[in-house]
Amino acid sequence: MSNESAATTTENTNETQSTNRGPKLKTEGAYKGEILRHSLGLSANKTPYLELIARFNQIENDALEFEDLETPFSKPVRIYLSTNAMDNSKKTLNHYGFADSTLARLRPGHPDAFSFAGKEIVATCRHGEYKGRPKEEWNVQRRNAPADEAELAAALEEASSTWQEDENDITEFAENTRF
């Protein structure tokens, strides 16, 4: 929350209570859990979205490690399917294994419906405002799996050669330019 004096954190509950009798908000940060189910919907602006209902049981600490929550909770997290958000949405859907060329199998009633159930989810909670009231904004994170050592070594070698080429270009530019 941008106004630190307007909120206090309740110990061991990972909730922030607005002092103006507003809603209890989850502490800002990254949460890890499991997707229980999904649904499709339309926002008030008629934007289609995929809603992942997740059970969060861990929060990321200052050491960037996840630790168990005292009280796990369920929360819907939306992925908007608008034209403007589609590139990011496709990447998120691909992250969860959905790579279809159409969105038809996202419908839970589809005969061959895609299931997100049981998949791990990491989502970030941020605080914002809507019509002057505090609210939570949840976004799905796409975290890469740790790299294979050989793959990582090859990628670093390639990056190092590019780095050296760039450094040589900069050195040559500096040597041939009068300031």
Question: Which CATH number belongs to the domain containing residue 128 in this structure?
Answer: 2.40.50
How would you classify the pairing of strands 48-60 and 66-80? Answer: antiparallel
Does 130 share its domain with 105?
yes
HSE-CB of 23 using CA atoms within 13 angstroms: 12
Does 125 share its domain with 156?
no
| Tokens at 153, concatenated | 């070594």
Domain count for the chain: 2
Does 33 share its domain with 67?
yes
Taking alpha carbons only, the member of 118, 78, 116, 110 closest to residue 97 is 116
Q: Which domain holds residue 90?
A: 4-141
* Residue 42 vs residue 8, higher pLDDT: 42
Residue type, 70: E
Does 133 share its domain with 150?
no
What is the predicted pLDDT for the residue at 165?
Answer: 60
3-state helix, strand, coil in the chain (%, to 5): 25, 40, 35
Does 20 share its domain with 84?
yes
pLDDT digits (tens, 9 = 90+) for 69-122: 999 999 999 999 988 888 899 999 999 999 998 899 999 999 999 999 999 999
What is the predicted pLDDT for the residue at 146?
Answer: 56
Integer Cα distance of 113 and 37 in angstroms: 12
Does 97 share its domain with 176?
no
Burial of 54 (0-12, 13-18, 19+ CB in 10 A): buried
Greatest mean pLDDT among 19-23, 50-54, 159-163 lies in 50-54
Does 86 share its domain with 166?
no
Residue type, 165: E
Does 94 share its domain with 168?
no
Does 160 share its domain with 87?
no
Does 177 share its domain with 127?
no
pLDDT at 138 over 70: yes
What is the predicted pLDDT for the residue at 22?
Answer: 56
For 152: left if phi > 0, alpha if psi spans -120 to 50, otherwise beta; the answer is: alpha
Does 81 share its domain with 57?
yes
Does 103 share its domain with 133?
yes
